[in-house]
């Protein structure tokens, strides 16, 4: 494509984006939808044939990761918040509240408008919601306590009671409470629930509840109907709630209302809680049914809550009966026990689905504590059978393989397991037990099988239920005999440019390439493919610096993952083990240390001690302390953690694949290097990290790459690393590249410009060839000029090869350069192995011992395989054998010895081909630069 044409096309697309943004902005401004703090806007309808990308401005499309916008000025305009209005009214007391009828009428109009919007969404392909994360960054808190309700009750008791006409506008009333009654049906927009509330004086206000775990999208995406059902259970008309630290504000739409940013900590569902815990209001059966409804919708947090209410009611009933009979301990009634077993079994299923195996095991422990099981097994057969399996699964998930084996063999389990339908299941269980043991103890995984499964799962397939579908479940593996997680020493911090207080992973021994280090299951994860099919995109933005108004934004999937993190914490809060898992992740760890320092400083000040521990000493002390797990009975050092800290943790998280985004606490202790010695990939949501470089000596740091491998441009790598808060990487590659600036970058830029030109469609063969010759010239130049670089220009090598291959298969209609082209291609082919060896820093004498196997990881090996398959006649038989040995060795390393290659050349080639085809389809760290392939 000629330069001018491509430029005009670019301009055109920019104009489209800007126009659409302005249109959107204007629509937002003039919207009649006055009752909402967020306004739903629908972009013009696509005609059914046109692709989404032609209409949605590219800048509006959700990004895979959070990054700075180049259109920040336009967006600043678009998102301008009417601060003036807010400031005008700051602090004023709302002494004459607006009439109830007006508020209710507005609410109804809004409800109708929202309904229409939801209707419209079914017809319209895309819809955008703007979502300002500023308030979440400031006010949203994540609860870390076991019983949030009693914590809220405690806070309520010590707070001052307020009424609506005593509230100050734009003010957060700390240490206060506002008891209110629900007087309208709640309305759900995608981010908030709006409802009208009334105080004891019958004064009314709109209350907007944001970030409510009951209805938020987590790993599960909740349907509109399901959310409506939840809301009728949670906020029925006339029910009472208490708002803690009420925030009364002028909203963006000019309306005055209450805003609750952190309902899990600030909204006391007093009526809901009483209804669920008092047996004469809602009975155990009803609670179980509500739990089952949640469970069917895969809302396991909701289900756990209802089953727990049910169990509590049974306990209370029993206690009451016992005290009324004057007995301290007496026989439990059969009916009660049946109820209890059912509830425990169901709750256990939820815990297993959410991978809280320890909690699941606690729920099944009733089975282990009963000596004579026949009594339990008299309960409906299916319940008892299920509970037995759940008990075994919980043990399996915890890696207690020997225990599972002995339980299966034990007499008491046999009664329940060896009958009819259970027999088949037990056979499967016994088989999977062998596999899981191999995975956990020997680190042997069927990688190719797992990858294949991953690509063959259809996008809309629901993930299998883990406790039944054991074949999809994989054990964790942790070779902590080979490495340690420890704070970096001062000299390591300086050398690598890591921030103060950084941790890293260090080898405890010399480690061979192809050694598996960890297979980790996520703390929380989401399937990020689902979101691509959602019709509603939101622009989640926040200002990093209020003075210069830099606007950043992130994708919906990041918010969904953070909601999932919160959900995991809420589920696991009754055992501190859950928070314990993430407390070492950098931003969380630092926050805890800062808090500890603050608290101690405060204490010291109070004690009037002027002598403070110096900072470094404090860090060392704190680190030791954080490394120890919290005792089960002790609470974490803090009852709430700001959501912002979780957000920052996510900003440093490199672990995502084409299908999954997750938190891996151990994996996230690895630091980055552009020339790493370890590789990682996600298969499903299992994270694999293994050593792939040679020469790892005891004490060496083990590193991974956070960005795609083999990007030659230092600028590009720096840009990518910035999203992980790494401003200037000091690895070997970056240091070398930086020392050769600016020429280094200029030459690469020349290469990439020419590459773009050579990839244009509809070029004549000779023109394309012209570009290829120039490309080759630059490639040769940089290869020589920067020969001291630890690794050659792999991506440029791949590009050149694939463009040359393209020309080989292209119809050459102008015969001008035919001979020249053919000669060039022949030479390229003949010199391929030599050039590959040069770029991957292999020397023939090294064969089959590879200098550094990691250099061959990527599309370059695909090219090698292609070459050996199609051009083997050019290769000397003796050399061919050596290359085959090299490939065999590499295959073992890349699959960390899970798959052994045979000396059958064709098989080795096929194995590699399959592995890399599958990795390319599932991972994002391998760039498929061969676009013309
Ligand atoms: C996923 S964490 C890695 C573990 C972390 N060092 C810790 O102390 O827990 C990522 C963070 O580590 C630091 N980091 C990792 N690799 C780095 C590098 N090559 N240069 C500078 N900082 C790095 C950055 O602060 C980054 O945001």
Whether ligand 1 lies within 6 angstroms of the CB of 170 is answered as no
**Position with higher pLDDT, 736 vs 225:** 736
pLDDT (0 to 100) of residue 48: 31
696 falls within a domain: no
Residue 903 reports pLDDT greater than 90? no
Instruction: Report the SS3 class of residue 854.
Output: helix
Range of the domain at 778: 718-922
Cβ count within 10 A of residue 811: 5
Name the residue with tokens 């773009």: 756
Q: Return the sign of the alpha-carbon dihedral for residues 664, 670, 671, 674.
A: negative
Region 575-592: what's the mean pLDDT?
A: 90
pLDDT (0 to 100) of residue 713: 96
Q: Answer with the one of 438, 457, 491 that is the final residue of a domain.
A: 438
- Say which residues have a Cβ less than 8 Å from residue 358's Cβ, sequence separation at least 6: 394, 398, 575, 577
Cβ atoms of 567 and 218 closer than 8 Å: yes
- β strands within 37-184, DSSP E: 40-41, 67-68, 127-132, 141-143, 160-161, 171-172, 176-182
**pLDDT tens-digit series, residues 470-521:** 778 899 999 999 999 999 999 999 999 999 999 999 999 999 999 999 999 9
pLDDT band, residue 69 (cuts 50/70/90): very low
pLDDT (0 to 100) of residue 13: 29
pLDDT (0 to 100) of residue 618: 36
pLDDT (0 to 100) of residue 191: 82
- The CA 672 to ligand 1 mean position distance, Å, reads 6
CATH code: domain of residue 403: 1.25.40.10
Query: Rounded mean pLDDT of the chain?
Result: 80
pLDDT band, residue 115 (cuts 50/70/90): confident
Ligand 1 atom index nearest CA of 586: 9
**pLDDT tens-digit series, residues 716-761:** 999 999 999 999 999 999 999 999 999 999 999 999 999 999 988 8
Region 923-931: what's the mean pLDDT?
A: 62
Residue 84 reports pLDDT greater than 60? no
CA nearest ligand 1 atom 14, residue: 671
Ligand 1 atom index nearest CA of 703: 16
Cβ count within 10 A of residue 615: 12
Return the structure tokens found at 700: 């060496």
pLDDT (0 to 100) of residue 507: 97
pLDDT (0 to 100) of residue 6: 37
843 falls within a domain: yes
Q: Which of 182-196, 493-507, 544-558, 794-808 has the lowest mean pLDDT?
A: 544-558
Whether ligand 1 lies within 6 angstroms of the CB of 726 is answered as yes
Whether ligand 1 lies within 6 angstroms of the CB of 729 is answered as yes
- The CA 664 to ligand 1 mean position distance, Å, reads 14
Most confident segment among 167-181, 363-377, 523-537, 869-883: 167-181
C-alpha 276/C-alpha 743 separation (Å) is: 71
- β strands within 22-119, DSSP E: 40-41, 67-68
pLDDT (0 to 100) of residue 21: 31
pLDDT (0 to 100) of residue 814: 62
Cβ atoms of 564 and 506 closer than 8 Å: no
pLDDT (0 to 100) of residue 319: 81
C-alpha 679/C-alpha 861 separation (Å) is: 16
pLDDT (0 to 100) of residue 454: 85
Return the structure tokens found at 626: 């954080």
Cβ atoms of 537 and 323 closer than 8 Å: no
399 falls within a domain: yes
Instruction: Report the SS3 class of residue 633.
Output: coil
Task: Say what the ipTM of the complex is.
Answer: 1.00
Residue 876, φ and ψ in degrees, nearest 5: -65, 140
392 falls within a domain: yes
Residue 563 reports pLDDT greater than 60? yes
Region 703-727: what's the mean pLDDT?
A: 95
Residue 601 reports pLDDT greater than 90? no
Residue 642, φ and ψ in degrees, nearest 5: -65, 140
Whether ligand 1 lies within 6 angstroms of the CB of 672 is answered as yes
Q: Which of 10-24, 134-148, 630-644, 770-784 has the lowest mean pLDDT?
A: 10-24
- The CA 545 to ligand 1 mean position distance, Å, reads 23
Residue 929, φ and ψ in degrees, nearest 5: -85, -10
- The CA 729 to ligand 1 mean position distance, Å, reads 10
Ligand 1 atom index nearest CA of 585: 9
Q: How many domains does the chain have?
A: 2
- The CA 556 to ligand 1 mean position distance, Å, reads 25
Cβ atoms of 314 and 347 closer than 8 Å: no
Element (H or E) spanning 210, and its range?
strand 204-210
> Using the 8-state DSSP alphabet, how is residue 281 labeled?
T
pLDDT (0 to 100) of residue 628: 53
pLDDT (0 to 100) of residue 575: 75
C-alpha 851/C-alpha 900 separation (Å) is: 20
Whether ligand 1 lies within 6 angstroms of the CB of 503 is answered as yes
Residue 609 reports pLDDT greater than 50? no
Whether ligand 1 lies within 6 angstroms of the CB of 668 is answered as yes
> Using the 8-state DSSP alphabet, how is residue 181 labeled?
E
* Angle between helices 714-722 and 732-739 in degrees, nearest 10: 130
Residue of 724, 732, 738 best suited for mutating to test ligand 1, as the one with most atoms within 8 Å of CB:
724
- β strands within 411-534, DSSP E: 477-478, 483-487, 503-507, 515-520, 524-527
Whether ligand 1 lies within 6 angstroms of the CB of 652 is answered as yes
C-alpha 739/C-alpha 407 separation (Å) is: 63
Report CA 193 to chain centroid distance, whole Å: 25
- Using alpha carbons, list the distances in angstroms from residue 484 to 515, 663, 681, 699: 15, 20, 21, 9
Q: Answer with the one of 385, 411, 438 that is the final residue of a domain.
A: 438
Whether ligand 1 lies within 6 angstroms of the CB of 574 is answered as no
Can you spell out the DSSP letters for 646-696?
HHHHHHT---B-SSEEEE-TTGGGPEE-SS-SEEEEEETTEEEEEE-SS-B
Region 303-310: what's the mean pLDDT?
A: 95
Q: Answer with the one of 412, 438, 464 that is the final residue of a domain.
A: 438
Region 457-469: what's the mean pLDDT?
A: 54
Residue of 497, 584, 586, 738 best suited for mutating to test ligand 1, as the one with most atoms within 8 Å of CB:
586
Q: Which of 67-81, 107-121, 252-266, 388-402 has the lowest mean pLDDT?
A: 67-81
**Position with higher pLDDT, 924 vs 182:** 182
């Amino acid at each position: 494509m000629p330069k001018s044409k491509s430029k005009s096309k670019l301009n055109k697309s920019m104009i489209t984006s800007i126009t659409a943004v302005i249109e959107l902005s204007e629509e937002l401004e003039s919207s009649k939808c006055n009752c909402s703090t967020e306004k739903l806007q629908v972009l013009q309808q696509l005609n059914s044939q046109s692709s989404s990308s032609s209409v949605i401005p590219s800048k509006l499309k959700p990004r895979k990761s959070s990054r700075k916008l180049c259109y920040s000025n336009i967006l600043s305009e678009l998102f301008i918040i009417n601060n003036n209005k807010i400031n005008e009214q700051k602090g004023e007391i709302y002494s004459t509240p607006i009439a109830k009828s007006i508020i209710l009428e507005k609410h109804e109009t809004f409800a109708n408008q929202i309904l229409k919007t939801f209707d419209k969404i079914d017809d319209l392909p895309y819809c955008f919601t703007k979502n300002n994360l500023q308030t979440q960054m400031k006010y949203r808190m994540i609860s870390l306590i076991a019983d949030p309700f009693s914590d809220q009750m405690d806070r309520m008791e010590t707070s001052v009671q307020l009424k609506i006409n005593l509230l100050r506008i734009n003010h957060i009333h700390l240490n206060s409470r506002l008891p209110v009654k629900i007087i309208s049906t709640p309305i759900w927009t995608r981010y908030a629930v709006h409802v009208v509330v009334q105080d004891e004086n019958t004064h009314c206000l709109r209350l907007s509840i944001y970030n409510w775990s009951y209805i938020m999208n987590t790993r599960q995406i909740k349907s509109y109907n399901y959310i409506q059902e939840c809301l009728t259970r949670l906020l029925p008309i006339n029910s009472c709630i208490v708002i803690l630290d009420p925030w009364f504000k002028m909203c963006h739409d000019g309306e005055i209302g209450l805003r609750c940013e952190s309902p899990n900590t600030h909204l006391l569902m007093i009526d809901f809680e009483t209804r669920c815990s008092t047996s004469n209001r809602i009975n155990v059966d009803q609670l179980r049914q509500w739990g089952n409804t949640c469970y069917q919708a895969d809302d396991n947090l909701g289900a756990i809550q209802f089953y727990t209410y049910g169990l509590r009611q049974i306990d209370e009933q029993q206690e009451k009966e016992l005290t009324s009979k004057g007995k301290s301990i007496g026989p439990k009634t059969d009916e009660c026990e049946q109820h209890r077993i059912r509830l425990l079994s169901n709750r256990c299923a939820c815990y297993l689905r959410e991978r809280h195996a320890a909690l699941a095991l606690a729920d099944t422990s009733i089975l282990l504590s009963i000596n004579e099981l026949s009594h339990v097994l008299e309960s409906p057969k299916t319940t008892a059978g299920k509970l037995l399996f759940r008990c075994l699964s919980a043990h399996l998930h915890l890696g207690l393989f020997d225990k599972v084996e002995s339980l299966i063999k034990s007499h008491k389990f046999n009664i329940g397991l060896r009958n009819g339908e259970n027999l088949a299941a037990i056979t499967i269980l016994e088989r999977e037990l062998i596999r899981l043991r191999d995975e956990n103890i020997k680190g042997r995984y069927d990688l190719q099988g797992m990858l294949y499964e991953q690509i063959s799962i259809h996008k809309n397939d629901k993930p299998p239920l883990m406790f039944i579908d054991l074949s999809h479940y994989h054990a964790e593996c942790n070779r902590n005999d080979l490495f340690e997680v420890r704070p970096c020493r001062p000299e390591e911090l300086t050398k690598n440019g890591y921030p103060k207080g950084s941790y890293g992973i260090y080898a405890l021994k010399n480690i061979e390439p192809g050694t598996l280090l960890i297979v980790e299951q996520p703390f929380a994860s989401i399937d990020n493919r689902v979101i691509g099919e959602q019709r509603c995109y939101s622009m989640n933005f926040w200002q990093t610096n209020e003075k210069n108004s830099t606007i950043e934004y992130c994708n919906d999937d990041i918010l969904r993952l953070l909601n999932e993190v919160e959900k995991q914490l809420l589920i696991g809060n009754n055992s501190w083990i859950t928070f314990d898992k993430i407390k070492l992740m950098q931003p969380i760890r630092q926050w805890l240390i800062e808090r500890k320092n603050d608290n101690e400083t405060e204490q010291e000040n109070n004690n009037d001690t002027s002598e403070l521990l110096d900072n470094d000493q404090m860090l060392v002390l704190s680190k030791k302390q954080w490394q120890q797990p919290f005792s089960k009975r002790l609470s974490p050092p803090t009852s709430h953690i700001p959501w912002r800290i979780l957000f920052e943790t996510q900003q440093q998280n490199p672990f995502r694949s084409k299908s999954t985004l997750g938190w891996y606490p151990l994996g996230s202790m690895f630091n980055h290097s552009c020339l790493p010695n370890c590789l990682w990939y996600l298969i499903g949501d299992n994270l694999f990290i293994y050593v792939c470089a040679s020469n790892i000596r005891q004490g060496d740091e083990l590193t991974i790459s956070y960005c795609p491998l083999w990007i030659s441009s230092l600028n590009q790598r720096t840009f990518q690393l910035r999203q992980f808060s790494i401003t200037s990487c000091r690895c070997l590659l970056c240091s070398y590249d930086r020392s050769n600036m600016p020429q280094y970058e200029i030459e690469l830029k020349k290469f990439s410009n020419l590459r773009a030109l050579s990839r244009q469609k509809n070029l004549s063969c000779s023109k394309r060839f012209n570009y290829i010759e120039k490309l080759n010239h630059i490639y040769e130049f940089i290869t020589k000029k920067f020969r001291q670089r630890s690794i050659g220009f792999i991506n440029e090598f791949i590009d050149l090869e694939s463009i040359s291959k393209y020309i080989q298969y292209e119809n050459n209609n102008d015969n001008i350069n035919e001979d020249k082209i053919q000669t060039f291609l022949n030479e390229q082919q003949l010199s391929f192995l030599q050039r590959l060896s040069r770029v991957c820093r292999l020397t023939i004498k090294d064969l089959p011992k590879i200098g550094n196997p990691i250099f061959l990881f990527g599309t370059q090996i695909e090219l090698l395989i292609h070459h050996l398959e199609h051009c083997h006649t050019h290769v000397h038989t003796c050399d061919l054998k050596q290359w085959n040995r090299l490939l065999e060795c590499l295959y073992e390393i890349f699959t960390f010895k899970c798959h052994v290659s045979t000396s059958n050349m064709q098989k080795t080639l096929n194995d590699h081909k399959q592995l890399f085809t599958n990795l390319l389809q599932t991972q994002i760290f391998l760039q498929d630069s061969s676009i013309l392939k």
